[in-house]
A and B are shown apart, each in its own frame.
Chain A
Amino acid sequence: MSNIKYILGSFGDPDEMLHGIEKLQENNIAIYDVYTPMPIHGIEAKLGVKRSRLDIAAFFFGITGTITMLTGVYLATAVDWPVNIGGKTHFALPDFIPITFELTILFCAFGLVGSYYASTHLFPGRAPRVMDLRATDDRFIIAIDAKQNTEHDKIDELLKGAGALEVKHNERKYLSYE
């Protein structure tokens, strides 16, 4: 029983890495994730990554802001302390459209930053989780879960055959900066 948790194939070239992904998929070896220093077109479709639901979250954060502002302004200007301004009705909607718009944007932006931190496990003070430090610099990394895919030698061979410069067998999932 080996203690290897993840096998990392480290490529120097994105095309070779895409070739490696194809090779692994042809052999029915599940890919845990791929880390690249730059965005690569078409890689989500190839890996079968589901589309982000961030836009739906954005809509609901936004609508929360809209409702909060309209409720707040209604309570303040029409219920709690009605003031006659220029003879307009107390809850003069056109006046409050700009501020409602601003609050929609604010809630949406803060909500999205929060969701982003929550989903990437990033927040100030936390060491980022990185599987291979060079994936943030000049290497394209394919990570394979070694417990689920037991044919380690075959994986090594496939990665090397596709042009991997280095294949690592890691006993820890993440390296951290600590």
Chain B
Amino acid sequence: MGTHHYNLSEQFEFTGKAKTLSIVGIVIGILTIAYGLFFNHEHAHAMHERTYANLLLMGYYFACVCMSATFFLAVQFVAQAGWSASILRVPQAMAKNLPLAAIILIAIITAGLFTHNLYHHWADPALLDKNSDSYDKLIDGKSAFLNIPFFLTRQFLFLGSYSIFSYFVTKWSYNEDLSGGLESYRKSFKFSCVFLVIYGFTTPVFAFDTIMSLEAHWFSTMFGWYNFASMWVSTLAIIAIVIILLKKAGYMSWVNNSHLHNLGQFIFGFSIFWTYVWFAQFLLIYYANMSEETVYFYKRFNSYEFWFYLNLVLNFLSPLLLLMDRDNKRSINILLTVSIIVVCGHWVDYYQMIMPGVFEFGPKDGSGFGILEIGIAAGFVGLFTYTTLSALSKKPLVAKNHPFLQESLHHQL
């Protein structure tokens, strides 16, 4: 329990390799999108659909990570958590990207709807026309909810309300740096309580809309929580990665292995939670013999078998085996490795949620894993890194007037 002397006005400098690499990523992403959309392909339609599916995947991933970073902040405020006070600037920097991520996601969805009919399972007017050959009674029944104007309104409402919260909660934290006192903390606490209620009720609907409606004939009430678990655990892993890389670059000397232990527990616990929901979604259908719902798993077992099982290996087995031990959670390199596995794993998770909805028969229909997947993922990773790190570099790395800061600096498990 010695006396610590940390430089609490330390600021991150966004230069050098990190900046170059993230810009290279963005350029690769833009080139890949241009290649996918404007290049003269043999199967142009399938290629365009595949580009849009990938854009939706990464746009959704990006928005979800920024949303869940906001959720992380809200949870810390509502729980009045002390341990995290000194690392809150990292999720804050991620939450600051939310308005941008929301605009990108809505742009992708709108462009997908109006140029290639990304949501072709329900967004086609012929499906609702009783005189048409392709009239679909099920979709007609859902059309009060699943129609383009209401769909886009919901996207605006959900992402807009999360963005407003992320704006205020970061702004108050910066105000706290200047003025001190408890005013900002109290406001953040109250606002967080309201936000958690809104977030809890709307994220499942957001997931139903954005991802589950790709296969509009099928539904599962577990799907919303399944997506929530995905976005939350991938965000925790990304927070851990950013903190570890900052620490390796010589910043944030106050982060000790007890903070890593807490993040590791979070990643471990919510990976198990993810598996629980993932499995429950399957078990309800399997156990109750709901043959009309098996179509979802039929596609995944037949055309996407590799991805289906890879998903389980990356997101369940690897955190389970690698993070169960206490010493592993406290080791900076093991935690970094597992976090990277989990982040890649949730890309695979989203991949096998989205692709079978667009390409039912897998590679035979035109899906696959190649330049488009890698390039677009690189683009969004670059964009995320660039925006997060530039937001991070604008303010000190620690909220020096946070009321629980001393507890966090002396955090010990």
Decide: B283 and A98 in contact? CB cutoff 8 A: yes
State the main secondary structure of chain A at its contact with B: helix
Identity of the chain A residue whose Cβ is nearest the Cβ of B288 in the assembled complex: A86
**Closest CB pairs A-B (n = 3):** A86-B289, A41-B412, A42-B1
A95 to B326, CA, bound (A): 31
User: B-facing mask of A89-104, CB < 8 A → 1, else 0?
Assistant: 0000011011000000
List of B residues within 8 angstroms of A94 by Cβ: 279, 282-283, 286-287
Decide: A97 and B287 in contact? CB cutoff 8 A: no
Decide: A97 and B326 in contact? CB cutoff 8 A: no
Known: A41-B410, A95-B283, A98-B283. 15 other contacts (CB 8 A): A41-B1, A41-B412, A42-B1, A42-B412, A55-B326, A86-B289, A94-B279, A94-B282, A94-B283, A94-B286, A94-B287, A95-B286, A95-B287, A97-B279, A97-B283
List of B residues within 8 angstroms of A55 by Cβ: 326
Q: How large is the interface on B (under 10, 10 to 19, 20 to 34, 35 or more residues)?
A: 10 to 19
A95 to B286, CA, bound (A): 8
B contact set with A: CB distance below 8 Å: 1, 279, 282-283, 286-287, 289, 326, 410, 412
A95 to B285, CA, bound (A): 11
State the main secondary structure of chain B at its contact with A: helix
Instruction: Give the total number of A-B pairs whose CB atoms are below 8 A apart.
Output: 18
**Min C-beta distance of A140 to chain B, whole Å:** 15
**Selected A-B contacts with CB under 8 Å, 18 pairs:** A41-B1, A41-B410, A41-B412, A42-B1, A42-B412, A55-B326, A86-B289, A94-B279, A94-B282, A94-B283, A94-B286, A94-B287, A95-B283, A95-B286, A95-B287, A97-B279, A97-B283, A98-B283
Identity of the chain A residue whose Cβ is nearest the Cβ of B286 in the assembled complex: A94
Identity of the chain A residue whose Cβ is nearest the Cβ of B282 in the assembled complex: A94
Identity of the chain B residue whose Cβ is nearest the Cβ of A18 in the assembled complex: B1
List of A residues within 8 angstroms of B410 by Cβ: 41
